[in-house]
Structure 1
């Protein structure tokens, strides 16, 4: 459905702005009026990573007058495969500062406002209130639900996107005109079921495909043109090069925006709501967790251990802890790999960061391997504490 423009137009465009945006101005549906609305708009991008990079760059190029950036992280070399707003010289620099510098280079007429912090329940309202539209470029479920809930409670529309390997999704959530994120996903997936991009990978250019959809939707909302993806989920498969549009209806029983909504404020703890690891995994790790330094001490002392890497084969090829044997987590959870595990040796599990190994540890404990332990921080901790020469991925 068509919606009215989200913002009022600015008073005028300068001669330089008319030259810059001329290809927009000659589009009848945009024109001078639409461009003046973009100039007067205030858009916040949550995250300056994979999706935030193309979104911020094209929002800036399009002439959105004020761009806000919420980002707490620093640029890492592994980001550069897809986070094109940053460059080699930005490694180690604040992502917010790096993104702001790129935006100013793209379009000096855009005002950039930096929020160099993680968005949380304490600051989200104060930040979101300053903007007309939110673009969600986050990569974890806890922040996605926080962004959704804050936007609904403030009456703000937001453009959402998600990417994984070769697949992407995008939609516009605006509770006043359609469903919210909770209508589509009432509950987060069970811990460990959906790997993050850091665990499963992502085709770099996929960020551009989904980020471009997000910017297109933002422009349509701001200028009041076309039919935005309110009530629709756009699904993209890069390998098949196909797009599917799925209808998403407002859930009358949604706890946040339904007819009898019971959630009228932000949750106390979104990390607990989404659960980084399951309750079973948390219980399994109690008194069964060692550090990377302790693992190295065990190896140096010749302790009889069976070190198991529960990551995927592609990750194992990139970097591994010496002496480890690859047994993917899925094979442990299914029971398929249990026969490979010795009963008379100390089993030590590890993954990339400690989440997957905690899930595998719970399965082993349930199967009777009571002395099994896992390595806190996984490969990343090993690289940081033991061997910094190994590549971080």
Structure 2
């Protein structure tokens, strides 16, 4: 990491400076910061932060025009700009982090990560983290087909994809990797082939399996940094199996789906947040009506209503892979850890639907939950 004397602060292109007279504005991401600059020294300082000078050289150049400005003044101003995420350190490079091909393919990703970076951060590291992480994806249906393609587009390097089903005509209102000519064929090889065509550098491990137990899930967790579960059959059991397996293995679980007119998702961080069984117990203890309905659904094996509309599918996909990005890169904390987030189609308003804590007496995670320790995950700790 560059030291204070070798750093070369550079104002981000996403933080342009505008305004005239004694007032400056530094803008970006829908927010604008107003700065009073009575002497013009701040405007000149910002001009000098072009990534070609060390801090000492910046002060030297600035003091030629404004001799009253001290090195401490410059240090403090740069620290404030860095806190506001206006700056990058131009001495950080992609050397040894990403290949020229990766730099070109994921240039826009890297610029996005750069918008979150401070001078201590190397924006190229975030793309490397995506490349190096290992994800288990359960299900290649409405959500899973979108997710697999989007993981490849994001530059996730390793995906273990689990599916057993075949293509049906009714799938094609939302399952984007399949065609009418595929009806009756297995989804898994079709999905893998088409995603590899899109990104030949992704490592996809196909697993043809219908999940029917905790042990089945455990088989596909080995080496995984996180699980995205969008498998939905058997409806009332698969969440239980996936939850228990992820807690045992200490692997973070990101999951969600469609509930007719709304999209929902939540995240379980084993040993840190409550698990799905904690949520069930919380519901039974605090909401008698919901608990009774949940039990009746379980007893009668009542699943969903088979309603699925592409706009909500696409939105849910974004929520799930966005949560994965936050976990892997650490650019922001996970949004849905220990709570269910929902978006309703009527107004696209995002809200917290339910929240639950880890239950000390939970038979799944209360005493044996292994803390999420996947090395590729930045914020699961």
TM-score by length of 1: 0.60
CA contact (8 A) 1:41 1:66 kept: yes
Q: Is 1:185 the counterpart of 2:292 in the alignment?
A: no
CA contact (8 A) 2:236 2:301 kept: no
User: What is aligned with 1:75?
Assistant: 167
User: What is aligned with 1:25?
Assistant: 110
CA contact (8 A) 1:252 1:258 kept: yes
CA contact (8 A) 1:54 1:212 kept: no
Gap regions ≥5 residues in structure 2? 1-93, 118-122, 285-293, 370-381
Residues 10 and 200 (structure 1), Cα distance of their counterparts in 2 relative to 1, 3 Å cut = farther
Residues 42 and 260 (structure 1), Cα distance of their counterparts in 2 relative to 1, 3 Å cut = closer
Q: Is 1:242 the counterpart of 2:349 in the alignment?
A: yes
Matches within 5 A, 1:133-152: 133-139=226-232, 140-152=235-247
CA contact (8 A) 2:162 2:188 kept: yes
User: How far did 1:200 drift?
Assistant: 4.2
Provide Cα deviations, 1:144-172, integer angstroms capped at 9, x if missing partner.
Answer: 11011000001000101021211121011
CA RMSD between the two structures: 2.3
Distance 2:98 2:256 in 1: 31
Provide Cα deviations, 1:75-98, integer angstroms capped at 9, x if missing partner.
Answer: 111111111222223222211112
Q: Is 1:126 the counterpart of 2:234 in the alignment?
A: no
Distance 1:236 1:10 in 2: 41
Distance 2:306 2:109 in 1: 39
User: How far did 1:209 drift?
Assistant: 1.0
Residues 260 and 220 (structure 1), Cα distance of their counterparts in 2 relative to 1, 3 Å cut = closer
Q: Is 1:252 the counterpart of 2:360 in the alignment?
A: yes
Provide Cα deviations, 1:278-317, integer angstroms capped at 9, x if missing partner.
Answer: xxxxxxxxxxxxxxxxxxxxxxxxxxxxxxxxxxxxxxxx
User: What is aligned with 1:205?
Assistant: 311
User: How far did 1:39 drift?
Assistant: 0.6
User: How far did 1:195 drift?
Assistant: 4.7
User: How far did 1:119 drift?
Assistant: 2.1
Equivalent pairs, count: 252
User: How far did 1:225 drift?
Assistant: 2.0
CA contact (8 A) 1:10 1:36 kept: no
Residues 10 and 57 (structure 1), Cα distance of their counterparts in 2 relative to 1, 3 Å cut = farther
TM-score by length of 2: 0.62
User: What is aligned with 2:69?
Assistant: none
Provide Cα deviations, 1:330-373, integer angstroms capped at 9, x if missing partner.
Answer: xxxxxxxxxxxxxxxxxxxxxxxxxxxxxxxxxxxxxxxxxxxx
Give the SS at the match of 2:220. Answer: helix
Distance 1:235 1:258 in 2: 26
User: What is aligned with 1:214?
Assistant: 320
CA contact (8 A) 2:97 2:125 kept: no
CA contact (8 A) 2:211 2:217 kept: yes
Matches within 5 A, 1:154-173: 154-173=249-268
Residues 252 and 101 (structure 1), Cα distance of their counterparts in 2 relative to 1, 3 Å cut = same
User: How far did 1:11 drift?
Assistant: 5.7
The counterpart of 2:207, out of the listed 93, 107, 115, is 115
Distance 2:208 2:179 in 1: 19
Provide Cα deviations, 1:46-65, integer angstroms capped at 9, x if missing partner.
Answer: 00011212211111100000
CA contact (8 A) 1:253 1:260 kept: no
User: What is aligned with 2:329?
Assistant: 223
The counterpart of 1:153, out of the listed 240, 243, 248, is 248
User: What is aligned with 1:298?
Assistant: none
CA contact (8 A) 1:165 1:201 kept: yes
CA contact (8 A) 2:248 2:368 kept: no
CA contact (8 A) 1:10 1:37 kept: no
Distance 2:262 2:321 in 1: 18
Distance 2:241 2:95 in 1: 31
Q: Which has the larger radius of gyration?
A: 2
Distance 1:202 1:189 in 2: 24
Gap regions ≥5 residues in structure 1? 1-8, 262-393
User: How far did 1:19 drift?
Assistant: 0.5
CA contact (8 A) 1:163 1:206 kept: yes
CA contact (8 A) 1:252 1:260 kept: no
Distance 1:114 1:11 in 2: 30
Distance 1:85 1:253 in 2: 43
CA contact (8 A) 2:141 2:175 kept: yes
